[in-house]
Amino acid sequence: MQAPVRIAVTGAAGQIGYALLFRIASGQMLGPDTPVILQMIEIPNEKAMKALEGVAMELEDCAFPLLRGMVLTDDPNKGFKDASWCCLVGAKPRGPGMERADLLKDNGKIFVGQGKAIDTVAAQDARVVVVGNPANTNCMIAASQAKRLPKERFTAMVRLDQNRAAAQLAKKAAVDVKDVKDIFIYGNHSPTMFPAFAHAKINGKPVPEVIGHHAWLQGEFCETVGKRGAAIIAARGLSSAASAANALVDHVHSLVTPGSVHSIAVKSNGAYGFDPNVWAGMPVKTTSLKDTPGGYEPITSYTMDDFAKGKLAATNKELVEERATVKDMLG
Ligand code: NAD
Ligand code: LMR
C-alpha cells in the first residue's frame, strides 16, 4: 500500500462535490491500493462551511478504509497544499436559458486566484482538472497563472461529453455501451463540441457503417450530445451532478491508467488546426509523468473530412472568442 495521495476538491459542499467525494474516498478514482487525503475547499461563507462539515461527517460515517484524512477549509493556500490532484469544481452553474459561456465573467476570476495558489503550494507532481464552467477557458485562465507547473498539467473535462456520445451511439445501434469504442470529443465543452463519430467503432466496425444514417450522425447525434447539459437542466431544474462526478472519476482514472485512450481538453499547441493557445478537447494516450510533462500524449494523427473540419473550425472560433473575453484574467 502506497503513501496517501492528497486530492483537493473545490466546491466540495456543492452538488457535484456531494456525488464525487464518496467515490474518491471509496477508491474508484485512484484505485483500490491508493489511500487518499481529501482536502475540501469551499467559499468563506458560514452556510457553505457548515454544509461542508456535514459532508465530512457523512464521509467519516462511511468508514472508508482508504480515507486517511480530511482537510476542510475556505483558504486555497491550505486546501491545495501538497495536493497531487486539484479538482476545480467550485463555480456557479448555469440556469435555464443560459449558455456556459455566460458564466465567464462570474467564474473566470475564481480560476486566477486558484491557478496562483496551486502553482505556489501544490505538490511537485500536481495535476489540475477543471470542471467549473466554461471549463476549457477557466482551465486556460488557471494554467496561465502557473510559473512552476507545466501547462500540460492543466486539463479540462470533456469526459462527460464522451460518455454521453458513447451512450447515444449504443442506444441507436442497440448494442451495449461497452461495444462502442474510440468516440472522442474535440473542442469546447459547449454545443459547438464535435463528437467525431467517423473514427468511432461499434464491435470493431466503423460507426458510419453500423449506423448507416449519415444525416442522423451529422445532425441529431451531434446536437443531442452538444445540448445534453441544457436538456438535463430543463428536466431537473439543476445542472448535471452525478454524471459530472462520474466523468471526473473517469477522467482522473484514465490519467492514472497507462495506455488508456480518452478525451480531455488540453493546450492545443495547434493540433487539428486549433489556435495554439486555447484548451481544446482531443484524444490523448496516457503515459506517465516520468515520460511526458502532463502524463499523456495528445493523439494528433486522425484525419478529418470536410464536415469534421467545419465543426472543428466552429468550436475553435468559439474558444478564441472566449479567450478574447477573458484576456484581462490571463497571467
Ligand atoms: P453547485 O452550485 O451545486 O456547487 C458549487 C459549489 O462551489 C458551491 O458549494 C459553492 O459554494 C462552491 N464555490 C463557488 N465558488 C468557489 C470558490 N471560489 N472556491 C471554492 N468553492 C467555491 O454547482 P455544481 O452543480 O456542483 O456545479 C459546479 C460547476 O461545475 C458549475 O460551474 C457547473 O456548470 C459545472 N459543471 C461542469 C460540467 C462539465 O462537464 N465540465 C458538468 C456539470 C457541471
Ligand atoms: C453539463 O454538460 O451537464 C454541464 O456542463 C452543466 C451545463 O451547464 O450544461
pLDDT band at 234 (very low <50, low <70, confident <90, very high): very high
pLDDT value of residue 97: 87
The active-site residue, picked from 189, 199, 251, 262, is 189
What value does the mean pLDDT take over residues 316-331? Answer: 96
294: closest CA among 330, 251, 241?
251
Mutate to test the pocket of ligand 1, among 21, 42, 118, 227 (most ligand atoms within 8 A of CB): 42
Q: Residue 44: nearest ligand to its CA?
A: 1
What domains can be seen in the chain, in order of their start residue? 5-156 (3.40.50.720), 159-329 (3.90.110.10)
- Catalytic (active site) residue 253: no
Ligand 2 proximity of 240 Cβ (cutoff 6 Å): yes
Mean pLDDT of the chain: 97
Answer whether residue 1 shows pLDDT above 70. Answer: no
Q: What is the pLDDT of residues 22-76, one digit of tens each?
A: 999 999 999 999 999 999 999 999 999 999 999 999 999 999 999 999 999 999 9
Ligand 2 proximity of 84 Cβ (cutoff 6 Å): no
Q: What string of DSSP letters covers 122-133?
A: S-TT-EEEE-SS
pTM of the model: 0.98
Q: Which residue has the cell 496561465?
A: 144
Residues of 14-53 as b/e, b for ≥16 C-beta within 10 angstroms? bbbbbbbbbbbbbbbbbeeebbbbbbbbbeeeeebeebbe
Q: What is the pLDDT of residues 116-142, one digit of tens each?
A: 999 999 999 999 999 999 999 999 999
Q: Residue 234: nearest ligand to its CA?
A: 2
Answer whether residue 95 shows pLDDT above 90. Answer: no
What value does the mean pLDDT take over residues 143-150? Answer: 97
pLDDT value of residue 254: 98
What value does the mean pLDDT take over residues 164-192? Answer: 98
